[in-house]
């Protein structure tokens, strides 16, 4: 039980990687706050965790809204007494839209969910964790798009690069001079329903992605195992790192 006695908040936990992380954390002894924008999905995940003997509550949360973020963090502390792990997993795509065609609305929406949301959640979590004896761990689910230029559209790529930078800044400050470790995961292709949001891929953006060549696609549990490692004491000397989990896609 690598997370026994720990309390974890996982955003975007109603499906895909977030669900896999939440359920794996519960199996490893964590008390989990399942946060998502979809209440029906939340309830399904919470029920699954409880049916398997775990502890969980659900919180409807749009990470782009400060009041939802505050409620999410406060629910963890008020219900379970601490906040030990924050996984910023919620994210959206942008149809591979390139700079010349990105609308202000699309830019603001993608940056709001993928970067501002994790910032707001990390800010709230840090003010709890840094006052706890055992500190805490922040894990940001970024993307290989946060390391390269053609694994998404302009807004998506910018948001994930920003999330990597946010991770390193937290690690260099609150990790070096506080009690909080922060690391990021950079998945490649993963079999989740986020692909269903790619409704009208931009021709040039898709051409740039295709030029990188096809890569293997992971099962969400394979990313969840990386998130378990980063949340557990197995990684207690890992801070400010970005772990690629792309099956070797970007190694070619």
Catalytic amino acids?
156
Contacts of 193 (CB under 8 A, 6+ apart): 15, 16
Spatial contact of 171 and 240, defined as CB atoms under 8 Å apart: yes
**How many CB atoms within 10 Å of residue 50?**
13
Contacts of 121 (CB under 8 A, 6+ apart): 9, 11, 63, 69, 72, 73, 86, 88
Q: Is 10 strand, coil or helix?
A: strand
Which pair of tokens denotes residue 85? 């792990």
| Cα dihedral: 230, 4, 80, 175 (round 10) | -30
Cα–Cα distance measured from residue 65 to residue 68, given in angstroms and rounded to the nearest whole number: 5
């Amino acid at each position: 039980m690598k997370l026994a006695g720990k309390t974890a908040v996982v955003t975007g936990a109603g499906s895909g990687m977030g669900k896999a992380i939440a359920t794996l954390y519960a199996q490893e002894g964590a008390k989990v706050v399942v946060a998502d924008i979809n209440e029906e999905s939340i309830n399904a995940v919470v029920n699954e965790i409880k049916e398997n003997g775990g502890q969980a509550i659900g919180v409807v949360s749009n990470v782009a809204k400060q009041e939802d973020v505050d409620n999410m963090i406060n629910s963890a502390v008020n219900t379970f007494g601490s906040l030990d792990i924050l996984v910023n997993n919620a994210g959206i795509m942008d149809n591979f839209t390139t700079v010349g065609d990105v609308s202000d609305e699309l830019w603001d929406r993608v940056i709001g969910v993928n970067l501002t949301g994790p910032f707001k959640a990390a800010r709230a979590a840090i003010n709890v964790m840094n006052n706890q004896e055992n500190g805490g761990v922040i894990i940001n689910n970024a993307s290989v798009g946060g390391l390269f230029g053609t694994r998404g559209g302009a807004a998506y790529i910018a948001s994930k690069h920003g999330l990597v930078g946010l991770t390193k800044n937290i690690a260099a400050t609150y990790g070096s001079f506080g009690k909080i470790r922060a690391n990021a995961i950079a998945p490649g292709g993963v079999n989740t329903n986020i692909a269903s949001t790619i409704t009208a891929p931009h021709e040039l953006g898709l051409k740039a992605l295709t030029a990188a060549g096809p890569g293997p696609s992971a099962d969400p549990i394979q990313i969840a195992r990386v998130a378990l490692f980063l949340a557990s004491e197995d990684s207690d000397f890992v801070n400010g790192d970005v772990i690629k989990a792309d099956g070797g896609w970007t190694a070619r």
